[in-house]
Amino acid sequence: MRDTPLSRFLVEFRRNKVAVAAALLVFVIVLIALIAPLVTPQNPYDLAHLVLRDARRPPGYIGTGRYTHWLGTDSQGRDLLSAIIYGLRISLQMGIIASGIALVIGAIVGCAAAYIGGRFESLAMRIVDLQLSFPAILLAFVIAAILGQGRYQLILALIFAQYAYFARTAHGAAAAERQKDYVEAALSIPLSSWRVVLAHILPNALPPLIVVATVQVASAISLEATLSFLGVGLPPTEPSLGMLIANGFQYLLSGRYWISIYPGLALIIFIVSLNLVGDQIRDQLNPRLRR
C-alpha cells in the first residue's frame, strides 16, 4: 500500500479494535436499513398486511402470515423487527440530511466570520455562542412545536439546533488558517474573497468539521427519536424508533416489555457505535490528542 494520508489513517484506525468493531456494526446496520424492503418479512406500514389479533405478541410468535415474529409485535400487530429496521432507515435519512445541511450552513457562517472579521464576526459569533448556551434538545423542541409534525419541519428543527456547532468549529479552524502565509500569498495575487475561502481556507478546516459531523449525525438521530417520543417529531404514520418506543411505553409495566425495549436497544447500540467511530476519527485528525 502506498504511503498516503488515507493509508496512514486506515492503518492507525485498524489498531483500535473497538473502533473497528463499531465501524463494522455501523456498516451492517446502515446496509440493512438501506435494503429494508428486501430483508424484512413485512412492510410494517402497509395497512393491508396488518392483523390486529396479532397485536402485542411476544418474541418468537408465529403469526397469521405463517412467519415468525422474532422480536414480537407491537400494539398494532406490526412485526417489531421489521418496524425497527424501517425506523432505522428513516432515522438515518433524517440524521444525515439534517447534519449535512447544518454542516454547509455552519461552515459558511464560520468561515465567512473568520475571513471578514470586524463587526460581522463579532455579531455572528455572539449569535452562535448564544445558541450554544441552550441545550440542543430545547431548541429543537421549540422549533418543532412551532412548525408542527412532519418530516421537513423536523429537519428544519434539527438544522437550527445543530448548525451552531459547525459554525463554532469552522470559525476556530478558519481563524487559525487565516493567519497563515499561504492565505496571505493568495490574497496578494489577488484572488476573490470567495475563492480564497472556498479553495484555501475551507479545505484546511474540513478535518475538525468531519469529526463534528460524525458526532452530530448520532446527535441528530437521538434528537429525532426524542422529539418523536415527545409527540412533536414525526407523525404516527412515519416509521421512527422514537415513535415505536413511545407506542410501547404504556405497556412496560404490563409485562409487554419488548414493544419499547427492543427499539430502545437498537437506538442505543447504533448511537454508541457511531460515537465510538467519531471518537476514533477525532483522536486521529486532532494532532493535540495524539500520544
pLDDT, tens digit, 9 for 90 and up, residues 76-112: 888 899 999 999 999 999 999 999 999 999 999 999 8
Q: What is the pLDDT of residue 164?
A: 96
Q: Residue holding cell 408542527?
A: 148
Q: What is the pLDDT of residue 291?
A: 47
CB count in 10 Å sphere of residue 240: 29
Report the CATH number of the 5-289 domain. 1.10.3720.10
pLDDT above 50 (res 206): yes
Per-residue pLDDT averaged across 153-158, rounded? 96
Q: What is the pLDDT of residue 29?
A: 94
pLDDT in tens, 17-53: 999 999 999 999 999 999 998 988 888 877 777 777 8
pTM: 0.88
Confidence of residue 191 (pLDDT cuts 50, 70, 90): low
Q: Cα separation of 84 and 71, whole Å?
A: 10
Q: Residue holding cell 409487554?
A: 256
Per-residue pLDDT averaged across 214-236, rounded? 91
Q: Helices in 231-257 by DSSP H: which ranges?
A: 241-249
Q: Cα separation of 31 and 86, whole Å?
A: 12
Every domain of the chain and the residues it spans:
5-289
Closest of 134, 161, 133, 131 to residue 227, by C-alpha: 161
Q: Residue holding cell 455552519?
A: 106
Residue 3 φ/ψ region, left for φ over 0, alpha for ψ in the -120 to 50 degree band, beta for the rest: beta
Q: 73 pairs with which residues across the strands?
A: 79
Q: 68 pairs with which residues across the strands?
A: 62
Q: Cα separation of 51 and 53, whole Å?
A: 6
Q: Cα separation of 67 and 252, whole Å?
A: 25
Q: What is the pLDDT of residue 2?
A: 65
Per-residue pLDDT averaged across 70-76, rounded? 86
Q: 62 pairs with which residues across the strands?
A: 68
Share of the chain above pLDDT 90, in %: 48
Average pLDDT, the chain: 87
